[in-house]
Structure 1
Amino acid sequence: MSSSSLWLTLACSTLLLQLGVLWSVLRLARIARTWWVWPAFFLALATLLARRVTVIYGLVAGGALPHAPATELAGFLVSLLQLAALWRLYDDLLEGRQAEARAEKAERAAAEAARLETERLFRTLFERSGDHVLLLEAGTDGLPVIVDANEAALAAHGYTRAEMLGMPISVLEPDAAPGIPAARVAAVLGGGGLLFETRHLRRDGSVLDVEVRIVGVPLQGRTLILAVERDITERRRFERDLAASEARLREAARMARIGYWEVDHRTGRQTWSEELFRMYGLDPEAGAPSLEALAARLHPEDRDHAIRSYREHLEGRSPRLWRPFRVVLPDGAVRHVHSQIATEYAPDGTPLRSFGTDQDVTGQVQLAQDREKALSLLSTTFESTSEGLLVVEQDGRVSTFNRRFLEMWDLEADGVRSLSAAALADLVVPKVADPKAFLRRISELQAAPEAVSTDEVELLDGRIYERYSCPRREAGEVSGRLLSFRDVTARRKAEEDRLALERQFHHLQRMESVGRLAGGISHDMNNVLAAIMSVTEVLGMKAPEHAAQLDLVMEAARRGRTLMRGLLAFARKEMEEADYFDLNDVVRREAELLSSTTLQKVRLELDLAPKLPRLMGSSPAIATALMNLCVNAVDAMPGGGTLTLRTRALGAQGVELEVEDTGQGMPPEVASRAMEPFFTTKPSGKGTGLGLSMVYGTVQAHGGSCEIHSRPGQGTRIRVTFPVVPGEPRGGQVPEPPAGHAPPAEACRILLVDDDPLVRRTIPEMLALQGHRVTAASGGAEGLALAEDGTRWDLMVLDLNMPGMDGLETLARLREAARGLPVLLTTGFLGEHTGERLAALGPVSVLLKPYTAAEIRKAVADLLAGGGTAAVAPPAPD
């Protein structure tokens, strides 16, 4: 082989080796981690390859050999060594690459496992977190939508997971403004985080207060929003309660007028409450005042002592300070303040911090002053009242009493002050008229602490106390009892007197009513009796052979007349005929009558005082009244007993008559009504109820009084008193001669005016038998017409009580026409003041119905002989 071919082959082989090295470099470049090393090496190889191509081209083209063959050979060897080295390097690099790949794969596997573990841990933390965790993602409209939620969030909001996923956050936060959620998302996606408080709406409509922290979380190519919520409902409630409590505390401090202050002695910083500025009249805008400025507000009398006390307190001489003082406001008003101060000290005794409260106690001071005045007034009232006051505690101790209580019960203060209520009761019970009732009432009040009681306590000496008892309370609870004793003895006596007067007044009213009734009855009955008596007397004159029978009729008529006179006396309470009489004589006559008639089982005793003063009155009326009393007394002793008639002289006060029996007696309610008209306790048909009423009327007519003293089973004593009329006794009426011996009267012409037909039919005949000529008229108008017809009348017999024109009116008109005509007024009932009215009506006389022939004969004769003096012609005694 030629040298050229050899060198050409060598150059070509070197070229091939360089190409292999270049390929190896390219392969290694893919494996290498540092990118610039292999490109640089490649450029160097490329340069060598270019030179090698040039050499080969020279050899091929020119056939010239290289100038340095050794160099070419060395290049070939170097290329061969490069190829081997590169191949080895490639293997090493490839092996390292594979190891790195394996390591990277293992690393990726470990990272994946760690990621999965982290996700599991995150999920566990996500689900088990005590807070509410929501995972949000911004929607197309920018509003966050819930993509995940833990169990706490689901339970807190009341939704299921299916319901909550995909729900816009605005459903949970309806009160938020429309742009707020989107603004929060933008802030978080911008790389920040947010912490805010809001209110979420539960599914049931209730409200949940939450504190929310949101951050952005990149996940799988997405940026999510992690919202961690904490339920602050209780905290909000606590804050609201705390704020309300603080407000109430401030209001309470304002209402209690308490101000708070604090001072730091190291820095000099002071803190005052608003109430404190108001209390001292300072402006809060100016800040807390200095000690000197505050001292200027203090009252001059309190200033030095208050400042000295405060400084001594700061020096540690007193751990706390409580000091009252006065503050003078700019307007001159004075306020009372109580200040309480406490100070904290350093170990060396240096004051660090002082704090305290000032309370405006002006109202309390004023209240205390008013209370002191009220207590003084109460004490004065308590002691000066006319009532005896006693205060007993709930445990039975005597709390207090006044002077009047001691006087009323005749007790000593030292002996009462240390006693119990039971011991005090033992002292007063012997002075009470009814101890059992007194002690029983005390026991009842002790058993009923809430009871209010009013009763009366009668003492042995006759005094009467009105006892009022009521519970005494402290803080709404019964703490004792107040007893008030009022002496009502005089009031009870006045009430009894008033009731007695009222009873007497009502009795007089009833008597007046019955009297008017009796007057009307007696008027009619007297006319009837007048007719009977006149007819009887006429028959006696015409038929003397029937004198015995006619005497019986006349006696019955007289008894009827006596009964009517008694009824009139009862009705009018005045006497129609009066004379002096001896009460003992009346009693003896009635006693004799009783002894012979009604006293079979009853023993009669007389106890008559000798030489009684003579009384002025009607002895028959008194006798009738006494008989009524005796009959009632006998009726009260059906089984027998003793009837005592007693008289007694009362000096200038009068004479007393007592009728006392040992019968059944009367209860108080019967005795108080016994003298009322028509009141009776006897069975129907056994009594009229007028007996004692007529007695009462008779006694009243004589100016006396009547009292009944009676108790059931202890008999009855009726006490009657009569006044003594001063003056010498005058002689009694001259007895009228019997009818058969009456003096003759001159015959005259008489005009009889009476409304009763019986009188008009009987009286004229009786007068005619006496020689008179009588013309009868039925009323006043007819009588006046006859009196004025020109007839000469000697006398007019005129009835006083007539319907229409009565006797007085007829007489008054008669005097206008015939003033001198004598008039004889006849009536069964003579009203009050009738005599005074008759005195001005000329010659007139009064004759009481019913009358006998002798009585009217005498009345006519006296009237004609006396020229007409106004007088009452009494009838002859029955």
Structure 2
Amino acid sequence: MAAGPLVDEVARLLDGATIIVHDLDGRIGVWSGGCELLYGWKRDEAVGRNVDELLSTVYPERREAIVDAVRELGSWEGEVVHRDREGGEIWVASRWIALTGAGTESIAILQTNSDISSLKEAQADLASREAHLRSILDTVPEAMIVIDEEGTITSFSAAAERLFGFRSAEVAGKNVRVLMPSPDRERHDGYIRHYLMTGERRIIGYGRVVTGLKKDGTTFPMELAVGEALSQGRRVFTGFIRDLTSRHRMEEELRQSQKMEAIGQLTGGIAHDFNNLLTVISGNLEMIERRLDDPRLRILLKEAQDAADDGAKLTGQLLAFGRRQPLNPKPTDVGQLVTSFADLLRRTLGEAIELRTVVTGASHLALVDGSQLQNAILNLALNARDAMARGGRLTVEVSRTVLDRDYAEMYPGVRSGYFILVSVTDTGSGMTAEVKQRAFEPFYTTKGLGSGTGLGLSMVYGFVKQSGGHVQLYSEPGQGTSVRLFLPSSVTVHENAPVAPAARPDALPEGSETILVVEDDLRVRRVAVARLREGGYRVVEAGTGGEALELLRSVPEIRLLFTDVIMPGGIAGDELAREARRLRPDIKVLFTSGYAEPTVAGREFGDDESWLKKPYTARELAVRLRKLLDPA
């Protein structure tokens, strides 16, 4: 290849550089000393050979396209991969320049190469480190947010997305104030300026409990720890956030449980002592009655005795709440008891209220005082009647259930095992969160003056606790109420009872589909998500119907929607399911509810829809999922 004297002179002057001159077909005419050092071939070994065959060149695009670009534009530059004499890989930043002779046709290409292998290794190492860091940030349970000196969000982890409800792209570049309620929202920039000017720390380096603001406008308690670093001469602040909602709720429930225990001991002791007084009063009244002949005095005496009897009934209820009433527990078939008791309940409720009794399965033996259980169900029925002033439906359901370890760990004082479940569900006015919190306290009532003593639910609570059981209350304003009594079974293992999942580690059916879990109770959602992930499923989660709809739009892999029926935020489970099917006609839906039946509050489901009643075991969930997801 005749490159010309000028090219030869340039190559001589720049012999230490990595310069190759070749024709359009790749035949080498000039091979500099720099090429000998970089690639290992001597000049006489390289000249005359094809450059691509010699160096095993890997181009970022077709070589013909590169040659065309050199012809049209006079030059090209890009990154290519070469192999040296020993076969080692070399990343090269290559620049091609067209060399023309007297005419206009390109007769040669001057190629200058720079070894960037070290840079590529550094970039690959950096990318690997970034990927590793990202995987950690995506899986660590604590949310992480990075801001600059102006408070602008520069990084928002996956856990932060789940916690606050924002996607990273929605908050990137915005001030971190968007995640704060008032008054912190208005004060935050001042906090940063004060620190930058004075160096006085208020939160940096220390853990602190503050309030966060979610996308849907709800607030929640969180623990915030902030670290500081310098990046290119500017301060960067990294905040690690832990959601305290579940912890605060558990602490509140523990305080409530301790308060109920203390009130029970107090009221039980008072009732016991007061009963002794009533015994003396009633006994003396009886002895006086035998000595009285005046009919008018006998009338007054009879009123005093009736008042003493009423007092004895009240103290009996207080003793029940304080778990000091005498019980006579014996194996009792709760299903038969409820069935035989139904006629009395129906007369008590009146014609405006429909009574339904549902007994699932057979042999519902519980170790319980049958007469006290009847009193408890009657008290619940009377409360339900008062909540349905314009009529409605009361459902009493009896079934067998298992409380597994996951469920027991969510509630203080609850033990795992086999239980007989009695659910009393109404379609009445429901309760607010404040009323639910105090519903089992003695003398607490929402009824008018003279309309109730406030001892009905407290007696039920004390009776079940004294029997070794557990009480659960589900209620929402306008959505009815369900009181569930878990009574210890007198049979260790029932026929056809659910098998303990710990029997074999591989006993549960598994899957790999993506499931959207929608549950407003953080603890219940955490257990459901953990169970699904242990079963091999990929899980995305939401606390409200609104968050769930955003995920349905942004995560096309979702195969099944697992949602609670009653949720805050304006979108109930059945409404969410209808919208989900509109977006994804082939999506599967599994409902769950703490109510005794899915038709509570007028929410009717189709025959093809499936639901699980809380509490459900890991096995029940796993089997139901495969039934829905596997083709028939």
TM-score band (shorter)?
0.3 to 0.5
Bigger Rg, which one: 1
Output the TM-score relative to the length of structure 1: 0.30
Output the TM-score relative to the length of structure 2: 0.41
Between Structure 1 and Structure 2, the one with more helix by share is 1
